[in-house]
Amino acid sequence: MVTDKMAQALNEQINAELYSAYLYLAMASWAGTQGMRGASSWFFVQAREEMTHVWRFYDYISSQGRQVILDAVEKPPADFETMMKAFEETLAHEQKVTGLINDLVATARTENDNATAIFLQWYVTEQVEEEESVGEIIDQLKLAGDEGGGLLMIDRELGTRVFSMPADLAAGA
Ligand code: FEO
């Protein structure tokens, strides 16, 4: 069983992942109102993925015989101004989450909790992928431009992203 300190830190991360889902859901709706259907769909997929991050923590905390304690989720912004700013905010947010995951790994080490350190490796890898994919979108926006035909082209590509439920979560572990 995880220590009290570890359980609390894991619970706090559930709140951070819920906020991530909230933030991307807000971005999805904002992008939709800007006529950016592809970006809206991309952010909606991102929000759904964040919910799988919540469930993965939920499952782990439960498997450790601990209760999931939910806290209030902070209100996200509603206006993201431009597509470039929305993705820059996405990258900044993911970098912050990476820091939180690293803090959790550090806590697992100080608590001598090898099981949690191993569990967290999935998130370490996931954060590398998330930062990389958002960084690529920002690069494309810089190249093609944050308006007009270039933006429409990127929007179309963003719309091709699909959500797929991870097999271990789909099984209702
Ligand atoms: Fe759950 Fe985007 O990190």
Q: Residue whose CA is closest, atom 2 of ligand 1?
A: 94
90 CA → ligand 1 middle, Å: 10
Residue 169 has pLDDT above 60, yes or no: yes
Q: Ligand 1 mean position to 118 CA, how many Å?
A: 18
> Do the beta carbons of residue 57 and residue 17 sit within 8 Å?
yes
The alpha-carbon radius of gyration of the chain (Å, integer) is: 17
The phi-psi region of residue 172 (left if phi > 0; otherwise alpha if psi is between -120 and 50; otherwise beta) is left
**Across 154-168, average pLDDT:** 95
Residue 43: per-residue pLDDT: 98
Q: How far is the CA of 152 from the centre of ligand 1 (A)?
A: 26
d(CA 132, CA 89): 14
The ranges assigned to domains in the chain are 4-165
Q: How far is CA 120 from the centre of its chain?
A: 14
Q: Which residues line ligand 1 (CB under 6 A)?
A: 17, 20, 50, 53, 94, 97, 130
- Give the count of beta carbons closer than 10 Å to the beta carbon of residue 35: 11
Distance between Cα 97 and ligand 1 center (Å)? 6
Tens of pLDDT, residue by residue over 117-145, are: 999 999 999 999 999 999 999 999 999 98
**Confidence grade of residue 30 (pLDDT, cut at 50, 70, 90):** very high
Q: Report the C-alpha gap between 152 and 100 in whole angstroms.
A: 34
Architecture of domain 4-165: Up-down Bundle (1.20)
pLDDT for 172: 61
Please say if the pLDDT value at position 147 is more than 90: no
